[in-house]
Chain A
Amino acid sequence: MSYTLTRARKIQDTAAKALIWLGASLTVGFLLWILWYILSNGLAHVNWEFVSSDYTSIGEASGIWPMIVSTIYMVLASIGVAAPIGIMTAIYLTEYAKPGSKLVKVIRFCTESLAGIPSIIFGLFGLTFFVGVLGLGFSVLSGALTLSILILPVIIRTTEEALMAVPQSYREGSYGLGAPKIYTITRLILPSAMPGIVTSIVLSIGRIIGESAPVFLTAGMVARIPESLMDSGRTLTVHLYKLTQELYTIHEWNQAYATATVLIVVVLVINTITKLIASRFNKATY
């Protein structure tokens, strides 16, 4: 009896372990395979010329410099709009609002619903509202406003979690010393939550860089360096999307792979920066 039990248990254990290993190696394997596939096809075509020169669709120039600049503008503008709003909302939710109040429930319902909506719907909304109704046209500004709505839930939720993870004993200690609320929030709570907040912003940057449909629906596709927020701009991902629409020659394939390579490198760099910032802050807060 006990023999069969242990035997059954052993088989279960082995099976479970095998499944876990299979899952893990599939995940890692696919990731490495995709990375290798893109990089091996693209790396050879990435050079200074490619990164730093202009682009024309008829082919006399096929660099990605305007896309890089547009991407940076898009990231800065979207974060510039969404981060203050998101962080302040999270501060309101954790530090000011009564837990369980109507307004908290409404905000929470909105952020959760927003998080689940397919991003093209945001694109459609931005196209109607920012581009059309507000008359901002196809512009970096329209794109950034649309993307801000898209990333707001992530920033709010992650910042909220970071704030809630700050020990209640810090707040008690601070209020027990008669410190004002604003002082407590800016000097004690926000610094303690900073790694989480930075992480939420970096995650959002990844999201901004990765989106395509909501971006070209609102910021357009003009492959020139935008001169102002009111100009259209084409981000790297939109560029890649556009390139994949017209893959006829080997040159076009190479360009697509090279662009993908740059995108992957950018994402890897962002991830590394996050890790560095997080560990910096961990050291700073001991």
Chain B
Amino acid sequence: MMNKISIKDLNLYYGNGANHALHGINLDIPARQVTALIGPSGCGKSTLLRCLNRMNDLIEGVKIDGLVTLDEQDIYQNVDVASLRIKVGMVFQKANPFPMSIYDNIAYGLRAQGVTDKKTLNEVVERSLRSAALWDEVKDRLKSPAFGLSGGQQQRLCIARTIAMEPDVILMDEPTSALDPIATKKIEDLIQTLKQKYTIVIVTHSMQQARRISDRTAFFLMGDLVEHNNTNILFSTPADDRTRGYVNGDFG
């Protein structure tokens, strides 16, 4: 199996070294699979996720050492951050549509790259909304504000916005934590379809969710990667006591 992303001996420090948030992480992320990152609050799941598209660059005082490769290429050396972020898209915990129309939200990323051709944009908007299973619900109101959508629709809009850039990898940080069960189900179904085309890394607080949707799971505790394996194996026969404790709901 081919690894899309490979993380080697990754250390991350916040506050110019004051807070050692990730301790020597080694993790391979296979292509076209769903990898779930689980663990108690503050263990560094989001931090690791943000290393994969260099969103941590936006935070003052972050120091990183180690190696992160995407398709065998070091993403921290000689890489244009913008094109990295196009290849590795991100969906955030709270849906964050821009204050503009549904159409303009989807077209935003392409327009930022200088695409102005109406036909291209129309096509991409339709294709992305279809891929995010949102087209039928919004096709009659593409020009109306994105804020008028429900929370779940907004989150699918954000997924569509990411898909519009034709990424290889989609990072999702607790994408359903603010949604009700029905909206959550829709997103989970969507993730199952999307993984045929995209490599997906998802942070989740819900172990049921990790079990339902992921192929592989990595368990984190206080900045350490404790264990990672096939989701079924990790949940049924964990190798580490701490993992067993967590997946059995003893703490966290």
Please give the residue numbers on chain A whose beta carbons come within 8 Å of chain B beta carbons, in ascending order. Answer: 98-99, 167, 169-180, 183-184, 187-188, 191-192, 285-286
- In B168-189, the 8 Å CB interface with A consists of none
Interface size class of B (residues with CB under 8 A): 20 to 34
Chain A: interface secondary structure?
helix
Instruction: Find B82's partner among A180, A285, A286 (CB 8 Å cutoff).
Output: A180
Please give the residue numbers on chain B whose beta carbons come within 8 Å of chain A beta carbons, in ascending order. Answer: 53, 55, 58, 60, 81-86, 89-90, 92, 94, 96-99, 108-109, 111-113, 145, 147-148, 158, 161-162, 165
CB of A170 within 8 A of CB of B55, answer: no
Q: A167-B96, A188-B98, A285-B99 are in contact. Are A176 and B53 (CB under 8 A)?
A: yes
CB of B58 within 8 A of CB of A178, answer: no
A residues less than 8 Å from B98 (CB atoms): 170, 173-174, 188
Residue among B60, B96, B97, B148 having the largest count of chain A Cβ atoms under 10 Å: B96
CB of B112 within 8 A of CB of A177, answer: yes
CB of A179 within 8 A of CB of B58, answer: no
CB of B82 within 8 A of CB of A179, answer: yes
| Cα distance, A179 to B105, chains bound together (Å) | 13
Residue among A170, A175, A180 having the largest count of chain B Cβ atoms under 10 Å: A175
| Cα distance, A180 to B113, chains bound together (Å) | 8
Instruction: Find A169's partner among B60, B85, B92 (CB 8 Å cutoff).
Output: B92
CB of B145 within 8 A of CB of A172, answer: no
| Shortest Cβ distance from residue B154 to the other chain A in the assembled complex, whole angstroms | 11
Instruction: Find B58's partner among A171, A192, A286 (CB 8 Å cutoff).
Output: A171
Q: A98-B60, A169-B92 are in contact. Are A177 and B99 (CB under 8 A)?
A: no
| Cα distance, A173 to B89, chains bound together (Å) | 10
Residue among A98, A171, A184, A286 having the largest count of chain B Cβ atoms under 10 Å: A286
